[in-house]
Structure 1
Amino acid sequence: MEAVWFNNYLPDSKRNLTYPKVPVFQFLIDSAARYPQNDALIFFNRHITFAELEELTNRFANYLQQKGVKKGDRVAIMAPNCPQNVICFFGALKAGALVVQTNPMYVEREIEHQLNDSDSETLILMADLYPKVTGVRANTPLKNVITFNIDGTASSLGDNTEDLQGILASFSPDYEKIDVTPDDLALLQYTGGTTGVSKGCMLTHGNLVANVLQTVEVVGKNYRRGNDHVIGVLPLFHVYGLTAVMNVSIYMGVTIILFPRFEPKSIIEAIHNYKVGIFYASPTMLIAINNHKEISNYDLKCLHTCVSGSAPLPNEVKEAFFRLTGVEAVEAYGLSEASPVTHSNPVNGLVKTGSIGLPLPDTDMKVVDINTGDECGFNQPGEMWVKGPQVMNGYWNRPDETSNVLEENWLKTGDVVEVDEEGYVFIVSRKKDVIIAGGFNIYPVEVEDVLFAHPKVQETVVVGVPDSYRGETVKAYIVLKEGETATEQEIIDYCRTKLAAYKLPRQVKFRPELPKSAVGKILRRVLREE
């Protein structure tokens, strides 16, 4: 496929970038030198400057080295967004370790799987989560368990654990740098498990560094370097939050306002009070803000950059957010296997509704027919393959599964897309989400777009369910706006005027909420299994 997308790059955007041959923690070292007294992190009433963050990460690196953690060892972090998460991430990297970000919502079985699969001997976690580890600890390689209280007070649990606060107070801030290269692994980023068994994506320092610079080139045009604020509510244990919120912000020297969970009013207040410029979000977050009952009491016009990812951004949500803030939310796309960002609509450039945008600099793309394997032309649906410096080395200890998704450095994304003549990519569906009813392919996003336009619908998702006659049929799950009521037949009749008969939802279920991942992605798998 001809790289026509370059024609829609902004005039000052580069097609190819130069990547420094440094580990990703060099970004923190550099920003601490440039902006030592600027806030790096704000967490409720606690402010941590770049100089302080640099020192704290050095202390933790020294602790790990004293405990015998060597280059290449795995260090797991299980925590919500908080300063301790950031400190331990960069401290572990400075010690030469690989970080294994672990979802704090995991249950014992999932924790045990990830610790064993990664062979992690060190775990840092919030003290409140420790009971979930006690029952499985003996079945894992764990040697060092460090706990902390999210408010920064000492966590004295005993039971062969150590307190992070005490560690940071007692170890030296003088860090003896070890040799870490761009080719060294930095992160085992486990896939969310929404597509099967969770697998560890092997991401190098070079992958993470490249993706920061690629992202900044496309969506960072309005950043006020060294003098800006970003909302840090996307989970840092998810690669979207880790790269776009944490690593990009550390590189740009801007302040991250951390939130351990998404609470719409807290986000709205922070944007208003701190005059926040940057908001990385998911569509569900934007929906919640758009519909907040007190939104008229706050001024969100300070925002200059909003990027939406993790799920398709409905046009109605985008337009409502624009009316509220004056900012056009741009849709982007990524996946754990690519650090994660591969595509984005350009901030300040041509934004196409319903599109994930253009490939980032140094990112190549092709679309492959899912039946024949032939390369598709423009406006023909097929699986998107990508190639670039942000693509993983493979899955940890899973060579067979690696060979299924990596072919001559091309990453098979599993997403069915169409590309228009200007290079803008439109996701049609995940290969696994395509509904085949009576021999017809039905792409859920097309039905969902119609449902989102219904004035009573706040959220919706469509899945295929077994049908004895058609093989599969369309089932819609709907969350209505507050105070609204509707019937199944009303929704079906509405769709009848806007969709071909074979695409119509045959079943409609109303729910108070939809199951979501940590970044707000609706879990179709959970609904299909109901």
Structure 2
Amino acid sequence: MDTPATSNEGLRPWIASYPEGIVWDDKIDTTPVHEQILAACAKNPGAMALDFLGGTTSFGELAEKIVAFAGALQSQFGVTKGTRVALMLPNTPFYPIAYYGVLRAGGTVVNCNPLYTVAELGHITANAGADIMVTLDLQQIFEKAEALLAAGHVKKLVVAHFPNALPLVKKILFSVAKRKDLAHPDRSAHAAVISRFEDLLARKDSPAPVTIDPQTDIAVQQYTGGTTGIPKGALLTHANIAANMSQIDKWGCGLFYPPSKVIAVLPFFHIFAMTVCMNVPLCNGTPVIMLPRFELKALLGIFTRTGANVLPAVPTLLSALGRSDAVTQAQIETLEVAISGGAALPDEVRHAFSKKSKALLAEGYGLTEASPVVCCAALRVPSKPMSIGLPLPGTDIRFVDVDSGKVVGIGENGELQVKGPQVMAGYYENPEASKEAFMDGWLRTGDVGHMDEDGYVFLIDRIKDLIICSGFNVYPRTIEEAIMTHDAVDEVNVIGVPDEYRGEAPVAFVKLKDGHRLSEADLKSFLAEKLNKIEMPRQIIFKEALPKTLIGKLSKKELREEYAQMKAGKS
């Protein structure tokens, strides 16, 4: 793959397919996001910015808290340009306050998934050199933060009091009924290095100005690659983050402006939600309606209570809306646009969702290293089905043959590669991985697909998920799409396993819908006309649940480990 590929940059067939009013070479705004949010707050301070379970924060209040937190970070912790600050927070008002506060203070945000193990969190914080962590006093989360302190991975904690995020009645109820769920940081053996979030805000320290170079200064150090190896810290500059916001904003044709209301059920610490659920709407003065985690009943309640109309989602969430008998058209009638990302959107999920909602369902595509969005279906008019849409303004893409490294033609499959202002600066202190991530200046995505004559992009699978059977390329997604067409199937995930005769063979893990039964033989018979002999799964394993990542993406990593253990147990 080191062979220099010829470039098709400048040949952009997708431009002719752009919706009216969108210009590919439009000016991209790279104003740092913390400057944008404070400007949005000043423009309409009385408007609602955040809604958390009915408790609201106005833009004016948000600005005051961002500035106060930034001031405290500087005066109390010495945060300055380049200081890494870890955030281990679910979706609550504390997250945007901390996120924008860190950036205003000159620091770099290091996002941490609260469901990671202490070992995983230890690697991220130690690798990043994040001595300060902002977290919550919910026991399940706080005990991990405390363990990181004890191990020396972080040196200081800032802990927010969860009930303070709730409206008054819920705050009182929580404090009475759920007090066992709360930790007591003041009783910790490490209390001397633990500060209360609320106390820092109460100081109302004014932050000193910080001169940011958007092109070189790092806003977010986002760890990625945990499902395939040791997580690497993608360095996203202020310009990377702002550019992708600007690209999405242009692509939305006004969607992310009032009177829209955006639902944030995806976690902000994930790059998709950070950009699409938080940064883009808030910087346009649009309210964000938060849920701390996905619960179908709570999500339906948001539509009823707020009339929210924009839902960034993952396929498993859309599947729950489309397939659940508990969901009616009337309950989600305010929804106008659903944006699917994070994983491939199965056609069956698309159809099921369309029966419950008249909303436009647009599939997008991105990766952490691109801040994250690269391509997206149009958000105001229909796009070609099964496509991830068109490259965003200012974004160039090409497809490169996996074996020869040469650019392939229209309709031919190859690795998708990207250029654009949203592409990362590299990986933190990992020059080897940074070099491997690029091919003569183009970011390698590891995803295989093609472009049609109209510039629409279609993905087939991940290079690393590719199964090579008897020398033939077999794509798990092809098998998954075929299995999903059976009425009894709820979810499916296909992996490649060692095979003495063919080298590798596909194995399918299937979850059936409630109340349905299906045998392996019957399902293989159903698939006989849909798959060739090489694609037919060697084995179909039925499970009551399939492993997922926190954002809801079906995870192959756990299935590979489970299958290896099964084989080891039999041998």
TM range (shorter): over 0.9
Asked if the contact 2:270–2:551 (Cα under 8 Å) also holds between the matched residues in 1, the reply is: yes
Superposition pairs for residues 266-415 of structure 1, below 5 Å?
A: 266-296=298-328, 298-415=330-447
Which residue identity does 1:152 align to in structure 2? N
Superposition pairs for residues 165-180 of structure 1, below 5 Å?
A: 165-172=198-205, 174-180=206-212
CA positional deviation for 1:125: 0.9
Asked if the contact 1:148–1:155 (Cα under 8 Å) also holds between the matched residues in 2, the reply is: no
Distance 2:507 2:113 in 1: 30
Superposition pairs for residues 241-256 of structure 1, below 5 Å?
A: 241-256=273-288
Q: Residues 462-506 of structure 1, C-alpha deviation per residue, up to 9 Å, x if partnerless?
A: 111111211111111111111111111111111001111111112
Asked if the contact 2:85–2:108 (Cα under 8 Å) also holds between the matched residues in 1, the reply is: yes
Asked if the contact 2:135–2:145 (Cα under 8 Å) also holds between the matched residues in 1, the reply is: no
Distance 1:508 1:226 in 2: 48
- 1:488 corresponds to: 520
Report the TM-score, using the length of structure 1 for normalisation.
0.96
Distance 1:224 1:244 in 2: 9
CA positional deviation for 1:175: 4.3
Tell me whether 1:121 sits opposite 2:131 in the alignment: yes
Distance 1:357 1:140 in 2: 46
Distance 2:78 2:207 in 1: 15
Asked if the contact 1:479–1:510 (Cα under 8 Å) also holds between the matched residues in 2, the reply is: yes
Report the TM-score, using the length of structure 2 for normalisation.
0.90
Distance 1:86 1:114 in 2: 21
2:50 corresponds, among 31, 41, 48, to: 41
Q: Residues 74-124 of structure 1, C-alpha deviation per residue, up to 9 Å, x if partnerless?
A: 000001111111110000000000000001011111111111100011111
CA positional deviation for 1:526: 1.3
Which residue identity does 2:131 align to in structure 1? E
Q: Residues 180-218 of structure 1, C-alpha deviation per residue, up to 9 Å, x if partnerless?
A: 231211000100501211000000110111101111222
Distance 2:426 2:132 in 1: 23
Distance 1:322 1:216 in 2: 25
Distance 1:287 1:122 in 2: 38
- 1:58 corresponds to: 67
Which residue identity does 1:95 align to in structure 2? A
Tell me whether 1:164 sits opposite 2:197 in the alignment: yes
Q: Which moved more, 1:296-305 or 1:418-427?
A: 296-305
Distance 1:213 1:304 in 2: 21
Q: Which moved more, 1:142-151 or 1:55-64?
A: 142-151
Distance 1:216 1:192 in 2: 27
Which residue identity does 1:84 align to in structure 2? F
- Give the gaps of 5 or more residues in structure 1: none
Distance 2:271 2:279 in 1: 10
Q: Residues 238-295 of structure 1, C-alpha deviation per residue, up to 9 Å, x if partnerless?
A: 1001001110111221111111111111111211221111000000001111122321
Distance 2:371 2:441 in 1: 15
Superposition pairs for residues 86-105 of structure 1, below 5 Å?
A: 86-105=96-115
Tell me whether 1:130 sits opposite 2:121 in the alignment: no
CA positional deviation for 1:300: 1.4
Asked if the contact 2:399–2:415 (Cα under 8 Å) also holds between the matched residues in 1, the reply is: yes
2:19 corresponds, among 10, 27, 41, to: 10
Asked if the contact 2:323–2:352 (Cα under 8 Å) also holds between the matched residues in 1, the reply is: no
CA positional deviation for 1:221: 2.5
Which residue identity does 1:30 align to in structure 2? A
Which residue identity does 2:257 align to in structure 1? R
Identity %: 36
Shift of the 369–297 alpha-carbon distance from structure 1 to 2, 3 Å rule, reads closer
Aligned pair count reads 528
Shift of the 297–367 alpha-carbon distance from structure 1 to 2, 3 Å rule, reads closer
Shift of the 225–136 alpha-carbon distance from structure 1 to 2, 3 Å rule, reads closer
Q: Residues 358-410 of structure 1, C-alpha deviation per residue, up to 9 Å, x if partnerless?
A: 11111111111111111111111111110000000000000110000123431
Give structure 1 regions of 4+ aligned residues with deviation exceeding 6 angstroms. none
- 1:31 corresponds to: 40
Q: What secondary structure, in the 3-state scheme, does the structure 2 residue paired with 1:499 have?
A: coil
Asked if the contact 2:149–2:155 (Cα under 8 Å) also holds between the matched residues in 1, the reply is: no
Tell me whether 1:229 sits opposite 2:235 in the alignment: no
Tell me whether 1:205 sits opposite 2:238 in the alignment: yes
CA positional deviation for 1:350: 4.4
Distance 2:318 2:488 in 1: 17
Asked if the contact 1:64–1:95 (Cα under 8 Å) also holds between the matched residues in 2, the reply is: yes
Q: Which moved more, 1:101-110 or 1:505-514?
A: 505-514
Q: Residues 44-82 of structure 1, C-alpha deviation per residue, up to 9 Å, x if partnerless?
A: 131001110011011100000002111110000001111
CA positional deviation for 1:298: 4.0
Distance 2:435 2:30 in 1: 28
- Give the gaps of 5 or more residues in structure 2: 1-7, 166-181, 563-571
Asked if the contact 2:262–2:289 (Cα under 8 Å) also holds between the matched residues in 1, the reply is: yes
